[in-house]
Amino acid sequence: MFRFRRDGGYRVAVVASAAVALTGAISLWFAGSALALTPAEVAARNSPAVAGTPCTAAASACVDVNKKKAWLIKNGKILRGPVPIATGGAGEETPTGDVFRVYRKDKTHTTAEFKLPNGQPAPMPDSVFFEDGGIAFHAGDPKRASAGCVHLNLADAEAFYNTLQIGDHVQVMDGPKAAPDPNSSQASSGDDNNGDDNGDDNSDDNSNDDNSDDGDDN
């Protein structure tokens, strides 16, 4: 147990030593936390926010699940959007996060998980896969919930397919932090649909991409 001299000198030395030790411990803690982050996580967290979206400049594609909107981003600026989308319905929600990465593209993808009336696999045109389980951007009804994918209308799906490249980062955010976009007058009426989870023949692909979700996130 430390004893303090009346002149206070010993006490000052002890307090100073304790402060140095505490500072060192805090520094080590922060260093350990930083080392635990991947480069993508560091970029996602440290990049500036993109005005009008809930995402940062690290993203090439941004999704706002609650507001049912998506954007293409380049060099921290909006390249396209907001565009109307649909995401996963109840029990099949689209996963959220800020470090997804495009790992596969297939312009004429089909899924055997869902069938057309003639029994053929349902088409998923312009599929851009960014998460295991077959989660992708693709052409589908932006007014009907998917089984986890992000539905885009045909023109937007083609734009996402042509713009996004393997390795590009995708951020899927839940929406509360989204700011209004001062540069857009586009309304998103009809984009808030949260039902019809399983009724879209052209949409859903959570576990069906025969070769897409086998850990190909290189």
Q: What is the pLDDT of residues 153-165, one digit of tens each?
A: 999 999 999 999 9
Among 35-39, 40-44, 58-62, 98-102, name the one with the lowest average pLDDT. Answer: 35-39
pLDDT at 26: 52
Contacts of 211 (CB under 8 A, 6+ apart): none
pLDDT of residue 197 exceeding 50, the answer is: no
Q: Which two tokens stand for residue 33?
A: 């936390």
Q: Which two tokens stand for residue 72?
A: 């293409």
Strand partners of residue 172: 63, 97
Per-chain mean pLDDT for the chain: 74
pLDDT of residue 201 exceeding 70, the answer is: no
Strand ranges (E), 140-205: 150-152, 169-173
pLDDT at 216: 36
Do 87 and 138 form a contact (C-beta atoms < 8 A)? no
The DSSP symbol for 207 reads S
pLDDT at 212: 38
Quick check: pTM over 0.75?
no
Closest CA to 148 of 94, 90, 86: 94
